[in-house]
Amino acid sequence: MKITNETLATQLNHRSIRAFAKKPIAKEQLTAIYEAARHTSTSQFLQQFSILRITDEAKRKAISEIAKQDYVGGNGELLIFLADLNRNAKIRQHLGQDIARLQTADLFFQAVNDTVLAVQNALLAAESMGLGGVVLGSINNEPKKLVTVLELPKLTYPILGLQLGHLAQSPQLKPRLPLEFTVFDDKYPADFSLAEFNDA
């Protein structure tokens, strides 16, 4: 029996949307997207991510130039998701505690994980409301320049961008690798049969 429900249907219909209508996302929709991101799973409940909503046209243009993609910063909302250890550092300092632990690779990678998960939750929330979006890894083509453009404090780092809006295109669903090539029990296979791959 094939399992299906509204959430699965939204997930399985995911397409990256790169063209958006000149129609703003309602404030209530944005708030719902932020709330979905805020309720993302988080390592040790540290909640080490923040979202920058970019409305300044000069910054949007600069980010588009960094990404080398014309649609970035065009119609729709442009959100930059940050790995954010700065906030927790401020909290610890306020409580008279040192911040040494927040300066470890372990905590940084936990922040990266928190941030990436929040991006996916935000995108799924947007798609559930009939909006479209595209995840932007290209914002890190020039990371030092991006940090300057965003005027970021220490202990923060831009991980991914997310452009959201009302769809102005309807691209086809891209094919995905079959499950037998992506899901394994107990042990990663020593070799793939190319013949089987071609047959799939």
SS3 99: coil
Confidence of residue 2 (pLDDT cuts 50, 70, 90): confident
Rounded Cα gap, residues 84 and 47, in angstroms: 8
Identify the pLDDT of residue 200. 53
- Range in 86-95, 137-146, 191-200 with the lowest mean pLDDT: 191-200
pLDDT band at 181 (very low <50, low <70, confident <90, very high): confident
User: Cα-flanking dihedrals φ and ψ of residue 187, to 5°?
Assistant: -145, 135
Confidence of residue 194 (pLDDT cuts 50, 70, 90): low
Number of H helices, E strands in the chain: 7, 4
Q: How confident is the model at residue 190 (pLDDT cuts 50, 70, 90)?
A: confident
Residues 108-138 have pLDDT tens digits of 999 999 999 999 999 999 999 999 999 999 9
Residue type, 69: Q
pLDDT at 197 over 70: no
Question: What gap in Å lies between CA 182 and CA 176, rounded to an integer?
Answer: 10
- CA distance linking residue 115 with residue 112, whole number of Å: 5
Mean pLDDT of 19-34: 97
pLDDT, the chain, mean: 93
Neighbours of 28 (CB within 10 A): 9
* Structure confidence by residue, pLDDT tens digits, 43-73: 999 999 999 999 999 999 999 999 999 999 9
Q: Once rounded to an integer, what is the mean pLDDT over residues 22-36?
A: 97
Consecutive H or E run containing 144? helix 143-150
Do 166 and 132 touch, CB atoms closer than 8 A? yes
pTM check: above 0.85:
yes
- Quick check: helix, strand or coil at residue 85? coil
Position 196 scores a pLDDT of: 59
